[in-house]
Structure 1
Amino acid sequence: MGVTPQQQEVFYHQFEKSDGLLSNTVYDINLNENGEIIFGTDRGLSIYNGLTFNNRTYVGASNALNDVYQIGEGAYIGTNFDWEYVFFKKDTTQVLAINKSGLDFPRVIPLGDRKLLYVKTGLISPDQQDTIHFKNSFDFLYHLVQHGNTTWFTAGDTQENTLYKLETNDRLSTISLGFSMTKEDIPFTYNEGILFYRPSVGGITNVSGQLIQSLPFSPEKVNNLYIHENTLYFSTLNGLWVFNLASEKAEHYLSDIQISDTMFDVEGNLWCSSLLHGVFMIPSLTRRVIKFEDKLDESLILQSQQNGPSNALLLTNDSKLYELDYRDYSLTFKREVPSPNRIEGFLADSTTKTIYLGSNLAELLDAKSLVTLESFKLSAIKGFLPSREKLFMATSSGLYVYHLEGKLAELILPKHRLRGLFRQKGQQYCYSANKLWEIAEDESLKLILDNQNIEKVVYSGSRTFILTTTGGVSELKENKLEPIIQSGEDYSDIFLTDNYLFVINSERADVFDLKTFEKRNSFFNSKGIDTNKLVAVVEFDGQLLFLHQQFMSAFSSFPERNLVKPTIKLLNRELLPEKLTSIDYSSNDLRFAFGVYPNISAQGKTSVMYRIKGLSQDWLPLYATNGSYNIDLLNLANGQYELELMAENEDGVTSEAFLLPFSIKPPLWRQNSMLLLYIVILGGIFWTSFYLNRLRLVRKNKVELEKVRLNNQLAAAELKAIRSQMNPHFLFNAMATIQNAILKKDLKDSLDGLSSLSKLLRDVLHKSSMEVHSVQAEIDFLHNYLKLSKKRFGEEFEYEIACEKEIDTAFEKIPTLITQPFVENAIEHGVSKRKGAKHISIAFSKVIKGYQVIIKDNGLGSDPTTWYNEEKGSFALKAIENRISRVNKLSKLKVGSTISSASEGTTVTLTFEHEQ
C-alpha cells in the first residue's frame, strides 16, 4: 500500500505584523546599501536588518507605499497610489504631490546608481537638479527592468509595440517589437538580451514575437517577474511559480498566497512579499520539505536503516515498517509486528539479505519478500549483529547469542542494560551507557572501555565514532578512543553517511569530512531542519535527506561558507554627546548600542568582541539583547579612550575594525592649577570643623539620663563617636602624602589621593547625622580610609575587605562608621609599630540572626584592657563602647564585641544580631 506524500514545499520563515513588520500587506521589496531589506507596505516603510524591523509612517493622501528605494544614507523614497512621492529622511518625512491628470500612478525609475521620478513628460532626480524629457508624454509606465547601467520600460502610449531603452548618459531610444504589446507582457533580461513573458502565447518570446520557450503552467495574474541565475520567479495571485530556463523545470509554492514581489538578498535568500500574509524568506539552500499523510502523525518515526530492498530507506514507526522510495518520496507500508509489541531493535543487513526486527519478539524477515524466516521471544531487544551461524542481540538485561542451527538463545553477558552492537574491521562489539566489550568468536567477552559515558555509537565497516554524554566525539582505533571533538559544543546526537559525519546540537548539524575530519560547514535549524526532532541523515544520489519525526528535508547541495563580511553600525549616535572627543565630566555615564549587518538569514551566529583602549587591552565578548549589542560605561574617570569593535561570523569572516575615540574632561576643581589651593582650603575647613566638633563632644555630659531622653543621648553619642573617629594625625599624614605626590609631579597619584580624601571627608560630614546606614556604605568608607593609609605606608601595607554573598549589603543596616575606630586602632597601635609587611583584613560574614565583622591585623599586639582607657588607649573606642551600649538599649539590632590580642596580632569581632 503506497502512501502519497503531501505537496512538497520549500522551507520558509514567515514575518508578519506580530513579528514587527508594519503591515501584512506588502507591495514592494528592495535592498539598501547595508544589505537590509526594505518593504513598501500599505501602512508605510519597513526596514529589516536581520534582527529587528524599523518602521516609518507618514501622513499623505494614501498610507500605502510602492516602488521603495534608498536615495542616500538613511534616506528613502517611495510612491503611493494617490499620485504622491514620499521622501523619508533621517528625521523628517516629506510628501510631494504631482499633477495626476492623465497619470495611472507615479513610478521611481532606477538608472545605474541614480533614482529618477516619473512625471509624465519625463524624469527628474529627487533633488530636481537633473531632468530627462520625453519626446512624447506617457500616461503611465507599465513594466521596467534594470540591468547594469541600462533600464528598459514599457509605456502606455499610442505605440504599444515599442520598448523604451534608457541609458546612463540620459539617452532614450526605442526598440520596435514584432508583436502588439499589452500591459500583461513583461520584459526581462537574459544572456544580455531582452525577452518577454507573454501569457497570451503561453510562453517566452524575443522582441520579434518568436516563441523561445513554452511554459508548462499558466499562472493567474502575474504581479511581478524576477530573474536570478537562469531562473524566473513569477509573483502571482495564486503563489510563487519558479521556472528554470536551463532545465525547463517548473515548481509552484505558496499556492494559497497572493505574492506581490520577489527579490534575493545579499546572502542568496529569496524574499516574497504578499498582499495579506506579510513576507516569506526562503533560505538560500535548495531543499524540499516532504510531509506524509496524517497516519504517520499518530506516532513518531523511531529508527531508520539504509540498504533495505532496492537500496531503499526503511523506517520504523512504532510497530510498523515502511519503505521510502527516493525517486518520488512515496512511503509504502511493509510490515507490522504483532500487538502489543513495538520495534526497538532494527537491522537491515544487505550481506545476509535479512531484516531483523526486535521488541519482545524477535523476527527474522526475508529482505525481498518480508516473509518471516524465524521468530522467538526475548525481552526488550535493542539491536542485532549477525555473525556466521550466530546472531548476537543486545537487550536491556544483557547480551544474548542465538544459535541459528540449534535455535537456542543463551545469555552470555548478564546484568547489563545494553544499548547496541556494531562490527569494525571484522571484530564485534557491544556497549552499554558506560562500557564497551569486545566479543570473540568463542563468545567470550573482553572489557575494552569503562566509565566512558557513552551516548551513541555510529559505525561503518571500517570506522566507528562514539558520542559521549559530555558532548565530545571520539573515534575507536585499536580498541582505544582517539578524541576528535572536545566537549563543550553541547552535541547531543551523531549520524554517519558514506562521506560525512554529522554532529548535532540544539541549533545546527555540523558536517565533518570523513577523509580529513575538517568541519565543512553547518546546516542550521533556520535552514530547513530541526535538530531536536532529527532521527536520521541519509546521503543518496547526490542528495542529503534529513529525516525528522514527522517530515523529511531533502537538500541537493551543501551550505556554502558565508562570505558576507559583517558590518558594525552605531545605532544610537543621537543619544551620545555631540563632541565625543570632549565629554563633560558630568556626562560620564555612556551607553553604546550598535547592530551587526547584514544578518538577514540567521546563517549561524555572529560573535562580537569589544575592548576599551584606556581601560583594558583585553577583548571581551558581547551578546545581543532585543536585537542590538549594548556597552554600558558608568562613572568614567577623565582621560582618553577608544572603543574598538570586531564581529565575526561562524565561517571566520570578520568585519572591519570599528573605532570610536572619545575622552572625558576633568572638572575645573580637579585641574592642576586648582589642586594646591583646593588642598589648603579643604584642609583648613576640615580642621576647623573637626576641632569644634571634637571640643563640643568632649564637653558632653556622660551621665545617664532618664529613659525618656535616651533617644537624644543616642544621637549625641552617635555624633561624638563618628566625628571623634578621625584622628587628626591621620589627616596630616594623608595631606602630607598627597602634597609629596604633587611635588613629585605625580599627577595621577595626587589626584587619586585627593579624590579618596575628598570622599572620606564628605562621608564623615554627611553621615555624622545618621544613626545607621547600609553595610555597603560602611565597606565603601573603609575602602577609602584604608586606601589613604596605604599611600602613607607604601607597598609594605596591604589590606583586604571581604563580604559573603549571603549578606544583602544594600539592604542590611549597620551603626554608622562603627568599625572605623577599631580599624584605626589596628593601624596606629598595631601594624604601624611593626617593621616590614603590614596587613589588615576585614571580613563580613553571615550568622544565624544577622552578621559579624572580624578585623584582624598582624601588628605586635597590645593589652585590650587598656584600649578604653582615655589616658592610655583610644578615646574613640571608649565612645564606641558607650554607643554600643545605647544601641543595645534602644534598637532591635544587638551589637556585641570581643577583642583578642597576642604577639602576632589582634582580632576584633563585632556581631550584629536582629532581635526577634
Structure 2
Amino acid sequence: MVHFNSSEVKSRLFTEKNIEQILQDSEGKIWVALNQGGLLCFPTGDVSSSNRIEYLGNTSVTSLFEDSQHNLWICTNGDGIYSYNLNTNITYQQPEISEGLDTSDVRVKKAIRLEQDPNLLTLERVFWDTVAPGIFISSIEINNKDTALEKSYMLEAYQNFLRIGYVGSLPGNPGVFQYRYRLNGVDKDWVYSSMNSVSYTMLPPGEYKFEVGAMSKEGIWSKEPASATFIIQPYYYQTTWFMAMTVGLAVVIITMILLIYTRNIRKKEAEKAKISKRIADLELMALRAQMNPHFMFNTLSSIQHFVSSNNTEEALRYLSKFAKLMRVVLDNSKRKEISINDEIKAIELYLDLEKLRFKGKFDYSIEVGEGIDPSYDEIPSMLIQPYLENSILHGINNKLDTGFIKVKIDLVDDHIVVCIEDDGVGRKKAAKMQERRSKEHKSQGMNITRDRLSIINRVNQSNLNVEVEDIGTGENTGTRVKIYVPFKNY
C-alpha cells in the first residue's frame, strides 16, 4: 500500500493480505478492507505500521460505505454487515519519532527554516529520495537464547529454532521501514513484511543463508542485504557414515539370514533325502522279508511234492497262486499306499500258500467293517503281512493242534484299525521256544515294519502306531496285534 501525493511518496506499508477497498471518511480517517485480514484504520490519515487500529480479526471484508448520517457500513464475506458511527468523539494522538536533541522547539525552527527557504526543502527531499536505507541484524536467538552476533554459526542438530531481529536505518529519516527477507533453503522467494523479526522452527540439518533488506517510505531498498549463515549439523543417525554403516550392517544381517536359511534348507533336503533312502531301503527289506528264501523254498518244495505225487492239478493251482503273489508283491512295492482291496488280495494269496507249507496247520478269516470302503480307503503297502508271518511262525506253528488267524479291518473314530488275532502259544512261550531253536529262521518283518512306521510318521507328521497284547490266560493265550492308520477322508 503506497500513500503519495502529487509531489512525493508519503509512506509505504505491506499489509500481508489482499486489499479489497480503501475509503477515506468525512473525518479524514483512512479505512482499508482486507481479504481474511479484517479492517485497518489509520485515524490520523498517516499510513504507517505504528499508526493503525485493527478490527474484525481475520474476517474477509469485501466493501465499505459511508452514508449521509456518517455511519460506516462494513460488508463481509460470510459474517454479515457491520455498522460503525463515525460521529463518536474520539481523540487520536500519533507518537512523534525523534532522536537526540530534536525536541518540539527544534522541529518548529526547522519548519520555519524550510518555509523561509524552499530550496532547502527541495535539497533535503532529493537527499531522502535517493539514499538507500541501511539494514543490519540486531539480534539472533537460538532455541530462545540470545547469542552474540556473528556472520556464521555452526549449530548442533537440536539447535534448530531461530529468531532473527533486524533494523533499518536512514540518516535524517527516522520513519518506519518495510522489510523483505528470505532464508535460502526454506523460502523460495522474498517474503515481504512490516515486522522487524522473523522465526524459523524445526529446521532440518543443512546449510542456510538468511538475507534481509529494508525499504524507506520513498520505496528505495537497501543496496546490500544484511546476512548470516547457519550450518545445522545432522544427528549422528543422519550422518553419511552412520547410514553407510547401517546399510552395511543390514547387508551383513540379511546375508547371514540367507546363509542360515539356505543351510537349513540344504540340511532339510539332505535329511529328507536320507529319510527317503532309508524308506526305500526298508521297503526293499520288507519286500525281501515277504519273499524270504525260506518261504520261497518251502513253497516251491510243497509244489514239487504235489508234482512228484502225480497231483498235477493241485500243484498247478498253488503254482498259479505263488506266481500271482510274486506279481502282487512286486506291484504293491512300487506304491506308498494301496487300497484295502489290494492288501486283502495279497494277504489271501500269502495265507493260502502258508497253509500249503504247513499242511493245513491253521485256517483264517478276513472281515471288513461297514465304515470301510475297501475300494477307496488306503493304507501303507506291505503293512499287514509281517504280522501274519509272525503269528504263523511263532504262534500257530508251535501249537500241537490246528490254529486260527482272524483279520478284521474297521473304522474306529478317525483311524483305520487293522486287528490280527491268533490262538497260538503266546509271546512268552514262543520266546522260550525260539531260544532253543536259535539257528532256525528269525522273522525280521516286524522290526522292519516298526522302523517303516517310525520314518513314515516323521516324514508325514502322522501318528501310525502298533499295539501288541496277549489274549486270555493259560497255556495257549494267543496274541492280538492292532495297527492304527490315520483315516484320510478326502
Q: Which has the higher contact order (CA 8 A, sep 6+)?
A: 2
Question: TM-score under structure 1 normalisation?
Answer: 0.22
Greater fraction of residues in strand = 1
Question: TM-score under structure 2 normalisation?
Answer: 0.40
**Higher CA-based Rg:** 2
